[in-house]
Amino acid sequence: DAGVTQSPTHLIKTRGQHVTLRCSPISGHKSVSWYQQVLGQGPQFIFQYYEKEERGRGNFPDRFSARQFPNYSSELNVNALLLGDSALYLCASSQWTVNEKLFFGSGTQLSVL
């Protein structure tokens, strides 16, 4: 079975631009969460989605938004990019919103110049 897949794997943008990151969960998983990992830190929670509804949001500005599609895949959008948005963006999936564990993808490495 395929794991959580994310695209693209690497991305370079300039300040002020917009970016869209994509995630396909494990087959049968209905919940997708997004995490941001800055170099030297642990992953930080951004969003949780379940059945196309936002179920949780972390302490991130409104420049960050996401959505989930009927096939349970998800997009993370970041507007007006700042240098500080440079990070590894991780997508995680689980069957339900409250699960013992999350399965993570390999992430999208975003560099903002």
* Chain residues in the site for other proteins (CB under 8 A): 4, 33, 35, 40-45, 48, 50, 55-56, 58, 90, 92, 97-107
Minimum Å gap between C-beta 16 and other proteins is 28
* Stretch (H or E) spanning 104: strand 103-104
Q: Which is nearer to other proteins, 79 or 88 (CB)?
A: 88
Q: Are the beta carbons of 91 and 8 closer than 8 angstroms?
A: no
The overall longest dimension of the chain from CA atoms, in Å, is: 38
Minimum Å gap between C-beta 58 and other proteins is 7
Q: Which is nearer to other proteins, 56 or 61 (CB)?
A: 56
Place of tokens 């998983």: 29
Minimum Å gap between C-beta 25 and other proteins is 13
Cα angle 33, 39, 41; round to 5 = 65
